[in-house]
Amino acid sequence: MTIMFDFGGVIVDLDQQRCMDSFVRLGVKDIGQYIDKYRQNGLFQQLELGNVSNADFHDAIRTLCGQDVADEAIDAAWCDFLVDVPQYRLDFIKELRERGLRVILLSNSNEIHFGKWIVPFFEKNGGLSCYFDAVYFSHQLHLAKPDEDIFRAVLREEQEMANNILFLDDGFNNIQTAKRLGFQTYLVREREDWREVVKKYLNGNS
């Protein structure tokens, strides 16, 4: 039995408005056309697909700003999207692994969030490997949800049938794609405590 989590909006709480406000302060007035809770657009989507280097991303943001903004300020604005991971979620994920379940992560992410926020956060809490048997990030796979290809890539790597995986995500389109491919799914509401949902699923499949 495998539990597959999305990261943003399921494990880590998000603040899209805080991130957008930070970019506006840098001078990116039309930031709303690029940033979305579930799938980014334009330049930001190319970053999440791993098709744009950090250096090129920084240069493109400076062009949008019309001024010389430091790389660190750009990264800080972008990382303002990610807020925090409540301790109870980390504890519960550890409990799942202690029960012998396979726990994996599938996230639309990017090298900046990964290197500047995700890795440092988990290093302070024991490391990603303390919580997940495998992690799959869009910028490393060059694929992104809700496209079917990223789900198929995970199934190939896991060598698992879709109906043996419970997938939790806060994006409706992501859930619809996964459901179409045969995954067990649950659409997470904003800042929901989804522990009871997982427990009920496991009790029903034990």
| Active site residue ranges | 6
CA distance 177 to 91: 29
Cis previous bond, 120, omega within 30:
no
Spatial contact of 171 and 6, defined as CB atoms under 8 Å apart: yes
Hey, which residues does 137 pair with through a beta bridge? Answer: 107
Tell me if residue 80 falls in helix, strand or coil: coil
CA distance 202 to 138: 28
CA distance 90 to 85: 7
Other beta carbons within 10 Å of 7:
23
**Which tokens belong to 84?**
């925090």
